[in-house]
Chains A and B, each alone.
Chain A
Amino acid sequence: MFDKILDSKIWSFLFKGYGLLFLTFLYLPLGLIFVYSFNANAINMAVWTGFTFDWYLTIFGGANSQSSFDAAFTESPARIFDVVKNSAIVALTASTVSTVIGTATAIALARFQFFGKRLYQAFLILPMIVPDIVLGIALLIFFVGAGFKLSLLTVIIGHTTFLSSYVFVVVSARLAGMDTSLEQASADLGAGPITTFRRVTLPQIMPGVVGGFLLAFIISLDDVVITYFIAGVGGQTLPLFILAMMRRGLRPQINALAVLLLLFTFIVAAIGLYLRSRKK
């Protein structure tokens, strides 16, 4: 009888309605940013005064009608390019290094037995759970104590520490699903441990490694809290820069910048999903 009620048209309608509502709830704010980024109104973005590409053009330095009024509301393209470059350097370096560290650790833990392995594993996952703000302060104290001058380098090192945990978890999951008899078969056919790793293990866990890298990349790219503590002068990343801009008021250029960042993140995620589907 319960089935009948659930089967009825009304329920099906309600379920669909709920689904739609939820999607709206999730995406309305993002949609608004997108729409506002094309709004010509420089003072109050909630009032639509016309369609413009200007905010995007100001980012790339292509706005031809640079009135003095506009200039007060925008950052210079050179400045934006600078922080984007910083973000790219941090994200690329930190995620690459942490992919190597995380993958190596995952393999070591999956293939070797040693005393206290469980505890070690727990400690490796901990940085993912520790509140960002605590991690940020801890890193700051460490860097200062160790005599590091806060810079882009400290950001890279800081990011690498906790991103390694993420890569470790993703690659470990992949390794757990891998058939160990493949490695035995490889050895059986005459391949030494290094050849086996290169030609059997690595191709098998590659989707996990790539997935871990992309995840680390995205997390690094939009991290604010931890970066805030450990970025010195000249170490400002894009999210920190946007945050700083916000302090001086909600400006339309921020919308355009946010949309671009969003777009880029989506593309990275899409590449990840694509690679995953291709290698099943």
Chain B
Amino acid sequence: MNFLNITSARKAYRTPEGGFIHALDDVSLNVRNNEFLTLLGPSGCGKTTLLKCIAGFEDIDSGNISLEDQSLKGVPAHRRPFNTVFQNYALFPHLNISDNVGYGLDVARVPKKERADRVEEAMELVGLKGFGKREPNQLSGGQQQRVALARSLVLKPRVLLLDEPLSALDRKMRENMQIELKNLQNSVGITFVFVTHDQEEALAMSDRIAVVANGKVQQLATPTEIYDEPANAFVANFVGTSNIFTGKVVEQNGKNLKIETANERQVLATSDHFNLGDQVQVILRPEHMKLSPDGNEISECCIEGTVEASIFVGSEMHLHVNVGKGRTAIVHHRHNRGDEGERIEVGTDVKLYYSPNAAHLIELVED
């Protein structure tokens, strides 16, 4: 049985100019029970719209959303077993923190005694014990966010929808909350659909990630799959840094391929999916390219270039290497303490070694 299933959902908004924005353009997504699923995508790609359609604040134009194979079509927001942590928290300004957290229970006519206990429990869960009598505007952004979380969690929803809940927090707080949220999700056993435009956050927290762009799901996979095997150039660029070379397969020996790239270099790769003559894009992550061969990297498997810039970021040197015809490859070179002698000057000719297994191939799509 499917848990939360979205099939071919479309949603268009009318613009003041008379055109349409396709906020959701044929979105299909299967959310599993108890998983931490992240919707990752740039601003304006339709993440909030998708959450609103799931929550029931907006109706999809076509397609279907179902929970355990029961269609949610026509079910109003207040009858759906989902709760939302809003992008702007949306705490009720006229109620104190306890009453905010207890609102849903009160509406459901939960007896006073039980309500008080559950509110207390929820506040403790998010680390806000003793804040009950305060007004929402007397709390910091992070605290308000946790109130919003408690207000939803207290109702024990089937699915918790979180719309960029950490975006207002500073870096330190954010990292703490990432861990807390993940632990919380493990302990309460509720499905989380979490929206973010921060790829590190997505990689760190999710069981699976749906990368969304232009109202479409670009890829739905585990964090490692997303990173190691991006489905297209957008995903490769959006999640982590990628060096992407377009080219053509010029030699094939079983699954070992040689690709002639547009910047007149040859790249070796292994793949089952491509054959001689195919147009492809080769993706090489910066940390998979090294300045000297070690074991795996056979000596002919390298790209020649000239260092254009070298940026020291602490744990690594980031080298920008011109690899022909103005194409720049970015290489992350590990920095060891006292490596001063190895410092690479601008203008140095280098060879970038990589393992053919590290090169990921995707189909070249015209756009």
Contacts and interface: CB of A to CB of B under 8 A. Distances in A.
Contact of A191 (B84, B86, B88, B107): B107
A200 interface: yes
A181 interface: yes
A74 to B, nearest CB: 50
B107 A188 contact: no
Contacts of B266: none
A188 B94 contact: no
Contacts of A179: 88, 90
A181 B155 contact: no
A118 to B, nearest CB: 14
Contact of B88 (A181, A190, A196, A200): A181
B108 interface: yes
Interface in B63-89: 76-78, 82-84, 86, 88
Given A181-B86, A184-B86, A195-B107, A189 B94 contact: no
B57 A182 contact: no
Nearest to A188: B84
Interface in A142-185: 179, 181-182, 184-185
Given A181-B86, A195-B107, A187 B77 contact: yes
Contacts of B86: 181, 184-185
A191 B92 contact: no
B158 interface: no
A265 to B, nearest CB: 29
B318 interface: no
Tell which of B78, B88, B93, B104 has the most Cβ of chain A within 10 Å: B78
Contacts of A188: 55, 57, 77-78, 82-84, 152
Contacts of A185: 84, 86, 90-92
A204 B155 contact: no
A119 to B, nearest CB: 19
A41 interface: no
A204 B57 CA distance: 20
Given A189-B104, A189-B107, A191-B78, A184 B151 contact: no
B103 interface: yes
A203 interface: yes
Contacts of A187: 56-57, 76-78
A186 interface: yes
Contacts of A189: 78, 83, 103-104, 107, 151-152, 155
Contacts of B152: 188-189
Contact of B92 (A190, A192, A195, A200): A200
A273 to B, nearest CB: 20
A186 B55 contact: no
A210 to B, nearest CB: 14
B104 A190 contact: yes
A191 B84 CA distance: 14
Range for the number of chain A residues in contact with chain B: 10 to 19
Chain A interface, DSSP helix/strand/loop, else mixed: helix
Contacts of A182: 90, 92-93
Given A184-B77, A185-B86, A195-B107, A190 B94 contact: no
Interface in B113-156: 151-152, 155
Contact of B155 (A186, A190, A192, A196): A190
A196 B152 CA distance: 16
A182 B103 CA distance: 12
B94 A203 contact: yes
B103 A186 contact: yes
Tell which of A181, A184, A185, A199 has the most Cβ of chain B within 10 Å: A185
A189 B85 CA distance: 10
Contacts of B84: 184-185, 188
A179 B87 CA distance: 13
Nearest to A179: B90
B253 to A, nearest CB: 58
A199 B103 CA distance: 10
Contacts of B88: 179, 181
Interface string B312-345: 0000000000000000000000000000000000
A262 to B, nearest CB: 34
Interface in A178-223: 179, 181-182, 184-192, 195-196, 199-200, 203-204
A186 B93 CA distance: 12
A135 B88 CA distance: 46
A181 B152 CA distance: 15
B90 A190 contact: no
B104 A184 contact: no
Contacts of B108: 190
A183 to B, nearest CB: 9
A189 B157 CA distance: 10
Given A188-B77, A199-B107, 19 more contacts: A181-B88, A181-B90, A182-B92, A184-B55, A184-B57, A184-B86, A185-B86, A185-B90, A185-B91, A186-B92, A186-B103, A187-B57, A189-B152, A189-B155, A191-B107, A196-B78, A199-B103, A200-B92, A204-B94
10 contacts: A179-B88, A184-B86, A184-B90, A188-B57, A189-B107, A190-B78, A190-B155, A191-B78, A191-B104, A199-B107
